[in-house]
Structure 1
Amino acid sequence: MKEELFLRPMTKDDWPSVSQIYKDGIDSGVATFEHTVPSYDDWDRTHCKPCRFVATLGEKIVGFAALSPISARAVYAGVAEVSLYVANGFTGHGIGRTLLHTLIQASEQASFWTLQSTIFAVNTPSTSLHLACGFREVGRRERIAQREGIWHDTVLFERRSEKK
């Protein structure tokens, strides 16, 4: 990468690029069970505003990370699910690691004590990234859901805040 990687808070104006990166993740078949990209308003309602970032190289958005609460119940107010996607052609350059580290720092400032990620078992780059960033595997869900008629296992990872 010739240009310097820069991270900044995500804005509504970033949605066209972010939604394309998410669509590419959907199309990969190993990033999410979703089939369609939500509207910005639907996505915005389900993701924590202080914990959403884009990674840019020059003017190009090459990845994003965000948190969504796992439950509306008050007892789980400090627990969130990680969403992290890197654009096609930009994996393997430390973008995901930089996004995840930034998201972890922001989550602690926003009083989250547990982050969790549910990752397709076959998505070894994502599992390796999470382990390298202090997440631990807490369980495997076998044949939890189908994607295009194929059953997939998922692995649940979590990271506890060092401040708790």
Structure 2
Amino acid sequence: MQIISMEPRHWPAVKSIYESGIATGNATFQTAAPEWEEWDQSHAEIGRLVAVDGDQVMGWAALTPVSGRCVYAGVGEVSVYVAASARGKGIGRTLLEELIAVSEKHGYWTLQAGIFPENSASIKLHEACGFRTVGFREKIGKMDGTWRDTVLMECRSKEIGI
């Protein structure tokens, strides 16, 4: 397996993995994956990664800016998704560790993640990569008419902003 930069040619597989995560009901508030153009515009240009085994995309990770304000230029929200058939093999951890390294090379001092409390595997993954829980966002959004909570986690760089 290799971690490489995501390219537009990877989008069909990335979108499929994203849709699989959406279908679990515990990965995101999104109800459908966007088309490439929309996804491309909403994510940071750096930190778009895919885990590949040959030509097969096993997972992906990306950064989304948390704000357009310049004071938050070094703060990004992380997304990490692994294909159902590839879970439990360390791919998520490898992707997240590489995403952290890439973000620091580009001046990010804080990464954050909003995770449904029911998604214990994702919480454990983020903790293993240095994230800590900084809050609990009660009834932050509705999903299928039901209020959902999220755990707010962050990872502060040990290199940037110290």
Q: TM class, shorter-chain normalised?
A: over 0.9
Match for 2:90: what amino acid?
G
Aligned-pair distance for 1:51?
0.8
Verify: 1:42 aligned to 2:42, yes or no.
Answer: no
Using the alignment, how far apart are the partners of 1:115 and 1:131 within structure 2? 12
Q: In the TM superposition, what is the alpha-carbon distance from 1:142 to its structure 2 partner? A: 1.5
Q: Deviations over 1:31-89 (max 9, x none)?
A: 00011111111111111122110001222101000001000000000000001100112
Q: Which residue among 148, 156, 160 is the counterpart of 1:160? A: 156
Q: Identical aligned pairs, as a percentage? A: 49
Gaps of 5+ in 2: none
1:9 alignment partner in structure 2: 5
Which residue pairs with 1:128 in the alignment?
Answer: 124
TM-score (norm 1): 0.95
Aligned counterpart in structure 1 of residue 67 of structure 2, from 43, 60, 71: 71
| Aligned-residue CA RMSD (Å) | 0.9
1:119 equivalent to 2:79? Answer no
Q: Which amino acid aligns with 2:100?
A: I
Task: Give 2:135's aligned amino acid.
Answer: G
Distance in 1, matches of 2:106 and 2:62, equals 13
Asked if 1:83 is matched to 2:79, the reply is yes
* Letter matched to residue 149 of structure 1: G
> 2: distance between equivalents of 1:44 and 1:148?
26
Question: Which residue in the other structure is 1:140 paired with?
Answer: 136
Aligned residues: 160
Cα distance in 2 for residues equivalent to 1:148 and 1:89: 27
Return the match for 1:109 from 105, 108, 121.
105
